[in-house]
């Protein structure tokens, strides 16, 4: 969650609005998730995509997602 907090706080107001629209949630949800320390698995995937892999699903939900060495941060196979 630390990386999500850092990423979110680094955004300009316009950048935050765009991020929240991409993720499909509100600022209050993101702030609560950071405070509680957890997001749902689908939200973790949306955050990873909206941040272009800067915040990964594995960081947000290590109990569910485990990155294979043959995958990039967005879960795509690499060669």
In a domain? residue 41:
yes
In a domain? residue 53:
yes
Distance CA 10, CA 72 (A): 24
In a domain? residue 78:
no
Phi, psi of 2 (to 5 degrees): -60, -40
Q: What is the mean pLDDT of residues 2-10?
A: 96
Distance CA 32, CA 34 (A): 5
In a domain? residue 36:
yes
Domain total in the chain: 1
Q: Are 43 and 25 spatial neighbours (Cβ–Cβ below 8 Å)?
A: yes
Q: Check residue 73 and give its pLDDT.
A: 56
Beta strand residue intervals within 1-79, DSSP E = none
Express each pLDDT in 20-48 by its tens digit. 999 999 999 999 999 999 999 999 999 99
Range of the domain at 19: 2-60
In a domain? residue 49:
yes
């Amino acid at each position: 969650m630390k990386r999500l907090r850092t990423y979110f706080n680094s955004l300009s107001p316009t950048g935050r609005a765009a991020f929240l629209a991409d993720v499909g949630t509100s600022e209050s949800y993101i702030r609560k998730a950071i405070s509680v320390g957890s997001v749902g698995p689908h939200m973790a995937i949306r955050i990873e995509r909206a941040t272009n892999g800067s915040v990964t699903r594995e960081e947000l939900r290590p109990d569910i997602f485990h990155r294979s060495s043959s995958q990039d941060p967005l879960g795509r196979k690499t060669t």
